[in-house]
Structure 1
Amino acid sequence: MKILYGVQGTGNGHISRARAMARALQQHPELKVQWLFSGRSPDKLFSMEPFGDYWWREGLTFVHRNGKIDAGATTRQLNLSRLLRDIRELPVGDFDLVISDFEPVTAWAAKRRGKQSLGLGHQYAFNFRIPAPRFNWMARGIMRAFAPVHSSLGMHWYHFGHPILPPIAQPHGQADAGSGDHILVYLPFEHHQPLLQELAKVPQKFMLYGAPLDLPTAENIQLKAPSIDGFQQDLASAKAVICNSGFELIAETLTMGKPILTRPLSGQFEQEANAQALRELQLARVVERVDANSINAWLQEQPAGVRIQWPDVAGQIARWIAGGRSQTPSELADSLWDQVVPGRGASGTRVAQAATDQLPPCR
């Protein structure tokens, strides 16, 4: 089977999930995969060795400024003529299956040619009624139209009674919360100078990813360069995590039982929905601002982490594809949620009630 696998490269979460899928798909030599990435300039991509001779297209992305979606800048940077040309010229006819991790060029090319397509990723969970801001019909419509597929496997931290899969996330290294003395901060879309000023007021050690390395910092802050191995090591040894409300990083953090302080990007439907789900599931502290006051208030409560052991979702999806997708998505979801192991936070407190209850079938 020849597979064209498109990945939205705007954030690191999609690429992190794709790396896990690349390793899993490589276990099935009968599956020949051509990778395509879009949404980020090629010079900004790193650690791409698992994808071999991958293709790149400009695609679509959103522009963020100071923790918010900049609708005007997003519209101005859109090269619609190039997008339509890339969709029209993509040789999807050479492949048996098109997979899209919310990647628009591959998804729309498959739709245009009537080629069988499968969506894999968190965004496809929003095809079901899950926690999300109400009445935001425009954002919902954009999400549905961004990368349309014939069938999909959505992923979330909980299934909410629907055929939604657990996350693709595995712990890295030693996963005991509190094993280090630093708090890992990953807020790449924030205005970094005000953020650094706020972190300097908190008597804690911070390791900050996603900011320019030449910014002046206080002694309690260490700026870190992009690095897959370095980030995973610092995450595994952190005593807590501060991040935006993206999906993949929080899923990985939950495998390690780390306390999480999170702020959703303003105006970003997916992140605001994720924040709502985190509140309902009691998996993280959600705040409107990340500043000295919110961080100190969170730390004074001595937050306990929540640990959930996810199964090998990537491996089972790869086997499902190689086996001809004979299971229905509901059957696949049920089999994976049966393997989820809810546990305890680092302080011994039980994880959120929604995660510890006996999970019902995902129908």
Structure 2
Amino acid sequence: MKIAYSVAGEGLGHAARMVCLAPRLAQTHEVELFCPATVRDYVLERLPGRTLRDVPHFSFIKKGDRVLFFATLATAVRRLPAFVREVFRLAELLKAESFDAVISDFDPYLAWAGRLAGLRVVQINHPGVVMRNLSFNPLSWPAVLAAFLLEGPWNRRILCSFYGGDVGPLLRPELLSQPRRDSGSWVCHLKPEYHDVVVPALEKAGLVPYELYPRKGGDFDAALASARGVISSAGHQIISEALVLGKPILVLPQSGQYEQILNARRLERSGRGWRATRKNLESRLRGFRFWAETLDKNSPYHDDTETAVTLLLAHLGEAPIRLKTSSAQSVAKTLARSS
């Protein structure tokens, strides 16, 4: 079976799942990878020698560290004609090169192209979990809408999450192979714009020594596996890695980003981590420092890559859904009207 596998380009969690899954899928199938430019280097560094095909991506509009969902939606609407043209191009490519199925990790371009080409589309991602967590919190409403739109169409979907997912966390093999120990150093994985707030708070709260990531030339996998504890954003992938490795973690969810807010709440509910805001960061770090010493390092979480691969292969092995000519034409007309 020839599979086209694409990922979203916002953050690195989608690309990290590709790095976990693509080599396993390639053992039994022909797999072509489609990556946005934003994650291309990340994937190539971890899957050297692979040929990557380009695919565009939608990105969030932000003000500081706050996600502006309605501005993001407005920008997406303006880009709709270009989106439609790219979907048609990709659909022709899928048909011309005789692809049999599509795997999409929160990428609507290849998902829609696969549907237009009459192929089976399997969606595997984490952000879709917000649709299982719609609440009275107004932030959840645009998040659910965004997740629905950005997933695109699918025949089967697998949600990866340390809470409420079909499968649990997926970790990269090179991270899992690192020796786990406590070097006494704290690992801070945050964007540089956080450093002016976080670094003074770390020092005042006594979380020293510490290592700042991402940084050029740094070995983040080794640092994480040997960390005393982790301070990071509330992205699902970094939380999952800390949980599986048994590392205490304190997270700062991105303002206005409901998925991260939900991740942080579920992390705290798990009893394996804390959450904080910029305003209460120093005081929370002080408490986190002492709590981290008491955490049982034998984590109940584990890498669930095997389960994810099994589910993917099962879904891909189902009979291909070939659209009738009239149905394919209907999809094409719907996309054309959008332009």
Q: TM-score, normalised by structure 2?
A: 0.78
RMSD over equivalenced CA pairs, Å: 2.9
Which residue of structure 1 aligns with residue 185 of structure 2?
182
Which residue of structure 2 aligns with residue 33 of structure 1?
31
Equivalenced residues, count:
303
2:287 paired with 1:297: yes
User: In structure 1, what is the Cα distance between the partners aligned to 2:32 and 2:127?
Assistant: 22
2:195 paired with 1:192: yes
Classify the secondary structure of the residue corresponding to 1:107. Answer: helix
User: Offset of 1:282 from its aligned partner?
Assistant: 2.0
- Contact 1:101–1:119 at 8 Å: present in 2 too? yes
- % identity of equivalent residues: 24
User: In structure 2, what is the Cα distance between the partners aligned to 1:300 and 1:318?
Assistant: 39
**Selected match of 1:247 from 218, 222, 236:** 236
Q: In structure 1, give the amino acid aligned to 2:169.
A: P
Classify the secondary structure of the residue corresponding to 2:187. Answer: strand
1:132–1:192 Cα change, 3 Å: farther
User: Offset of 1:273 from its aligned partner?
Assistant: 1.4
2:60 paired with 1:62: yes
Which residue of structure 2 aligns with residue 49 of structure 1?
47
1:239–1:65 Cα change, 3 Å: farther
1:142–1:249 Cα change, 3 Å: same
What 5-or-longer segments of structure 2 have no aligned partner?
319-339
User: Offset of 1:286 from its aligned partner?
Assistant: 1.2
Which residue of structure 1 aligns with residue 321 of structure 2?
none
1:320–1:191 Cα change, 3 Å: closer
User: In structure 2, what is the Cα distance between the partners aligned to 1:175 and 1:64?
Assistant: 36
User: Offset of 1:84 from its aligned partner?
Assistant: 2.6
**Selected match of 2:264 from 275, 298, 305:** 275
Which residue of structure 2 aligns with residue 231 of structure 1?
220
2:211 paired with 1:207: yes
Q: In structure 2, give the amino acid aligned to 1:262.
A: V
Which residue of structure 1 aligns with residue 111 of structure 2?
107
Q: Which moved more, 1:54-63 or 1:296-305?
A: 296-305
User: Offset of 1:197 from its aligned partner?
Assistant: 3.4
- Contact 2:15–2:42 at 8 Å: present in 1 too? no
User: Offset of 1:239 from its aligned partner?
Assistant: 0.4
Matches within 5 A, 1:53-202: 53-71=51-69, 74=72, 79-90=79-90, 91-93=93-95, 94-128=98-132, 130=133, 134-135=137-138, 136-148=140-152, 149-159=154-164, 164-169=166-171, 171-176=176-181, 179-188=182-191, 190-202=193-205
What 5-or-longer segments of structure 1 have no aligned partner?
211-223, 328-363
**Selected match of 2:302 from 304, 310, 314:** 310
User: In structure 2, what is the Cα distance between the partners aligned to 1:99 and 1:326?
Assistant: 13
Which residue of structure 2 aligns with residue 359 of structure 1?
none
User: Offset of 1:2 from its aligned partner?
Assistant: 0.8
1:189–1:13 Cα change, 3 Å: farther
- Contact 1:287–1:294 at 8 Å: present in 2 too? yes
Which residue of structure 1 aligns with residue 17 of structure 2?
17
User: Offset of 1:46 from its aligned partner?
Assistant: 5.4
User: In structure 1, what is the Cα distance between the partners aligned to 2:49 and 2:79?
Assistant: 26
1:120–1:87 Cα change, 3 Å: same
- Contact 1:7–1:101 at 8 Å: present in 2 too? yes
User: In structure 1, what is the Cα distance between the partners aligned to 2:150 and 2:316?
Assistant: 25
Deviations 1:195-231 (A, max 9, x none): 3333343431111113xxxxxxxxxxxxx3265xx11
Deviations 1:244-269 (A, max 9, x none): 11111111111221111011111112
User: In structure 2, what is the Cα distance between the partners aligned to 1:288 and 1:103?
Assistant: 30
User: In structure 1, what is the Cα distance between the partners aligned to 2:224 and 2:61?
Assistant: 26
1:137–1:6 Cα change, 3 Å: same
Q: In structure 2, give the amino acid aligned to 1:151.
A: R
Q: TM-score, normalised by structure 1?
A: 0.73
Classify the secondary structure of the residue corresponding to 1:14. Answer: helix
- Contact 2:131–2:144 at 8 Å: present in 1 too? no
User: In structure 2, what is the Cα distance between the partners aligned to 1:157 and 1:122?
Assistant: 9
Q: Which moved more, 1:164-173 or 1:145-154?
A: 164-173
Classify the secondary structure of the residue corresponding to 2:38. Answer: coil
